[in-house]
Structure 1
Amino acid sequence: MTSVSHTTHAISINPNDGEQIGAYPYETEAALEAALSRAAAGFSVWKRKSLAERVELVTVLASVLREQAIDMARMATQEMGKPATQARGEIEKCAQLCEWYAENGPAMLAPEPTQVPGGKARIEYRPLGPVLAVMPWNFPYWQVLRGAVPTLLAGNTYVLKHAPNIMGCAYLLRDALQQAGFPDGVFEVINVTPDGVSKAIADDRIAAVTLTGSVRAGIAIGSQAGAALKKCVLELGGSDPFIVLNDANLDEAVKAAVIGRYQNTGQVCAAAKRLIVEQGVVEEFTRRFVEQTRQLVVGDPSQNATYIGPMARFDLRDELDGQVQATLSEGATLLLGGSKAEGAGNFYLPTVLGDVTDRMTSFRQELFGPVASIITARDAQHALELANDSEFGLTATIYTQDVARAEQLTEQLETGGVFINGYSASDPRVTFGGVKKSGFGRELSHFGVREFCNAQTVWLDRN
């Protein structure tokens, strides 16, 4: 394929071999105008559909996703290097999300009656309108649908601006919703530059904005949404602590830490990035962790045996390597990996950094790739202090056999989620989101349904 400019096209490059596989021209102002008009017109139709009708289409979408799973998973593998088994698992997780919301969503949107002095009242959940969603590449389908499904179920329409390196995934997702029978304008995909995003945010037809991305992107999008007086939800970066106390079951803790750090090639906002281990077990934990990390299969992401594929973008691999080299120069010990892999692919060797302190780069910054940092804590209180010593606050993990103590520590952790004896995950039954520079607002559960609703109070017979 002939190479084209990144300034005029969204470019898709296969990170496994560096070959360009797609080029999608950015849309003109006229095309953006048409998309926003369709979303607004679609909202007028969609909000008048009964909740039962919306539930039916969400249920059909689950079936369509399963029917298209092979093609959709293959596209994710080609565009961002997601290992094949993990890509298929992502599609199935999306299908299960649809089914869960179809079953449980209606109760979350039901009117809430109450008695008030002198009469009755109820709270009704009304849709806001078209919601602009700026989404990342690391989970091409899950990141979108975990927000889109509850948003659509509530009666809003959804305008997706996906990451430019995975526009093939974006269009497959749009096709899936069309095949499921969603009306025109209910789910729009716009392929625009940052300037186009700014125009969309400022447009009166966009009612609210949601972003999953970097802190820098969150500051930009949040500022623009605020200037336009529009509700926004921001799910940003993370440098999540994974605390291992002296009494932890090391077999379970090490296994969870390896999965929690290296799944999706370490490109997860809520990955276990800072492994904070109490000094009584740090030596044994480190030995086992390095040993198990060494056994991970790195290679062609289309092969089922592969656990770690290439990183999605070449510029991010360069940034990651710079952070690793900076940490080593600051006094950390290289226990495994520590460099780019040779060859055309965008691979970074699974890396373990030991003797990391709270002043080093890999502790202070988010490392978005297959790199783990091991930090020694003097005791449980010190581990807690290290965990909170971050500008981020997405999730945290605690491994200990004393669950009561873990519960006490949980109360003091400055994060949106805590996992006791289990690694970070997301599930529609519970909320997902962060505090501090990890953002604000929540996705999933009933919070995800109501984030983009007008909670309208209706008073009756107030005398």
Structure 2
Amino acid sequence: MTYQTINPYTNETVATFPDATIAEVDAAIAAAHSAFLAWRETPFSTRTAVLAKAAELLRAERRRYAELVTLEMGKVIGEAEAEVDLSADILQYYAEHGESLLETITVPVAFAAEGEVEIVSQPLGVLLSVEPWNFPYYQVVRVAGPQLLAGNTILLKHASNVPQAAAMFDDLFERAGLPAGAFKNLYLPHNLTEHVIDDPRVRGVALTGSEEAGAIIAAYAAKAVKKSTLELGGSDAFVVLGDADIDKTVQWAVFGRHWNAGQVCVSAKRLIVVDEVFDEFLEKYRAGVTALKMGDPMDPATTLAPLSSQGAADKLAVQVEKAITGGARAETLGEKVPATGAFYQPTILTGMTSANPSYYEEFFGPVSIIIRVQDEAEAIAVANDSPFGLGGSVFTRDTVNGEKVARKIETGMVYVNHPTMVKADIPFGGVKHSGYGHELTNLGIQEFINKKVIDIVDIDAAF
């Protein structure tokens, strides 16, 4: 069985689910296409009502949904509840904005254009959504919310370790009033993914995941001449300038690196600190990390969760050893990890240089790379010396200069005096090896839309 619920706090297998057969996959595609033909003609008022009801259901059963996430991938319960809230906010955002995000645009005529030209927004059809385990609800909703509103239908291939969270969406959208077939979770094995993308009724694919997975899916889509969007890895720079409020900056740094156990694409992975405040920052950062409490993620007192799986913890350990072999210095902090569960000891890596084979890797877990730089210019250069470009942040008391520095960092999102954040009304997307395309707001809904030009010409004025 590919799809399993394994509690990362105990490493016990809770449930297993069979892979979808090719017959089940084909039936789901046919049902999604049939639903699309009707859903695209459904009034926006009906579509927004479905999304609003789904948001209402999430909020009404917040604790139940949160506990399922904590069970499957180990997220501390408070963070799981926050993810449910964020998912509801995204659905509500699209419910409230509705048709206004897809209004017809009238084009001013020029250059001897004839007739009345307008651009209308029309859905493409069935979409495949390939999503990761680190935010089992949010990742699904940020594609499903806008694309269902647009009139598309969704087939979901979720991560193999969160099968119950994936199946939850079938129930949620059914209870919200979505027509049968318009959203379907598939326990899709890897060997059938290309089969889905090749089907002519499937018109696009959205993936959030690793760089390796993204390259494979993008190749499938390109071969089939289908639209794709990719949100891949990140190695966000957390730049600390000499005039930063160090106490507050350290608090944000500890949070920014360790929320969701550090398993976030936009986590503050590279802490780049100018020389004049480096020693003070490092001393206080050590104390902040040391104070983190590992334990049962269902316990509100726990502030550092286990990783999503024992395999993830083992992979991180190999990465750290590779970094040490390459010349980095490692320092472990905090209480000793629990004897059971997929925990990883919080670690600081210093002395990392571009000569280290691990320098350009993404560390997905509670491992902090802290880099000393001489000044602002070097901080910008180091921030940009990465194959990734997803998020980033700059900490300074001078917000005018902070904005100037932010403009110079080559990434999709930069925040001044806050780690990269995710909100329902802020676009999300990256550059370089972090992928392409946007999600959320009006940018996200436009990704799988046909912007059709219609030119209406008076036949009597044509010659």
On whether the aligned pair clears a TM of 0.5, the verdict is: yes
Report what 1:99 is aligned to. Answer: 92
| CA–CA distance in structure 2, aligned partners of residues 432 and 230 of structure 1 | 22
**CA distance in structure 1 between the aligned counterparts of 2:385 and 2:119, rounded to whole angstroms:** 40
CA distance in 2, matches of 1:439, 1:258: 26
Identity of aligned residues (%): 38
3-state secondary structure, aligned to 1:125: strand
Q: What secondary structure is seen at the aligned counterpart in 2 of 1:243?
A: strand
In the TM superposition, residue 338 of structure 1 has moved relative to its aligned partner by: 9.8
The C-alpha deviation readout for 1:259-300, integer Å capped at 9, x for no partner, is: 110000000001000000001101000011110111111111
Unpaired stretches in structure 2, ≥5 consecutive residues: none
**Equivalent residue number for residue 81 of structure 1:** 74
Distance 1:238 1:404 in 2: 26
* Secondary structure, counterpart of 1:23 in structure 2: strand
Q: Which residue matches 1:199? A: 195
Q: Which runs of 5+ in 1 are unaligned?
A: 1-7
- Decide which of 97, 111, 114 is 2:107's aligned counterpart: 114
Tell me the amino acid that sits aligned with residue 304 of structure 1: P
CA displacement 1:91-133 (0-9 Å, x = unmatched): 0111111111111232111111122133321111100001100
**Letter aligned with residue 431 of structure 2:** V
> What is aligned with 1:354?
350
Q: Which residue of 2 aligns with 1:50?
A: 43
* Cα distance in 1 for residues equivalent to 2:425 and 2:176: 24
- Local SS of the residue matching 1:191: coil
Q: Return the alpha-carbon distance in structure 2 between the equivalents of residues 274 and 362 of structure 1.
A: 12
Partner residue of 2:391 out of 376, 391, 395 = 395
Match of 1:248 in 2: 244
Give secondary structure in 2 for the equivalent of 1:133: strand
Contact kept, 8 Å, 2:393 with 2:406, in 1: the verdict is: no
**Residue of 349, 373, 376 corresponding to 1:377:** 373
Question: Is 1:338–1:351's contact at 8 Å kept on the other side of the alignment?
Answer: no
- SS of residue in 2 equivalent to 1:42: helix
CA RMSD of aligned residues (A): 1.5
Aligned 8 A contact 2:86 2:138 in 1? yes
Q: 1:200 deviation in Å?
A: 0.5
By how many angstroms is 1:344 displaced? 2.4
Deviates more, 1:69-78 or 1:109-118: 109-118
Partners of 2:86 and 2:424 within 8 A in 1: no
Matched, 1:19 2:12: yes
Query: What code does the residue aligned with 1:145 have?
Result: V
Kept after mapping to 1: 8 A contact 2:290/2:334: no
CA distance in 1, matches of 2:212, 2:238: 25
Measure, in 1, the Cα distance between the counterparts of 2:149 and 2:429.
20
Residue 451 (structure 1) aligned with residue 447 (structure 2): yes
Q: Which amino acid aligns with 2:293?
A: V
Q: What CA deviation, in whole Å up to 9, does each residue of 1:47-106 have, x standing for no partner? A: 110111101111111111112222211111111001001001100111111111111232
Q: 1:274–1:363: 8 Å Cα contact kept in structure 2?
A: no
Which amino acid counterpart does residue 30 of structure 2 have in structure 1? S
In 1, distance between residues paired with 2:249 and 2:317? 27
TM superposition shift of 1:405: 2.0
Aligned equivalent of 1:433: 429
- Aligned partners of 1:204, 1:333: CA distance in 2, in Å? 52
Q: How many angstroms does 1:435 deviate by?
A: 0.6
TM-score by length of 1: 0.96
Instruction: Find the residue that maps to 1:319 and give its secondary structure.
Output: helix
Q: Match for residue 266 of structure 1? A: 262
1:4 corresponding residue in structure 2: none
Alignment-derived partner of residue 3 in structure 1 = none
Partner in structure 2 of residue 341 of structure 1:
337
Q: Which amino acid aligns with 1:259?
A: F
Q: Which residue of 2 aligns with 1:218?
A: 214
Verify: 1:314 aligned to 2:310, yes or no: yes
Shift >6 Å, 4+ stretches: none
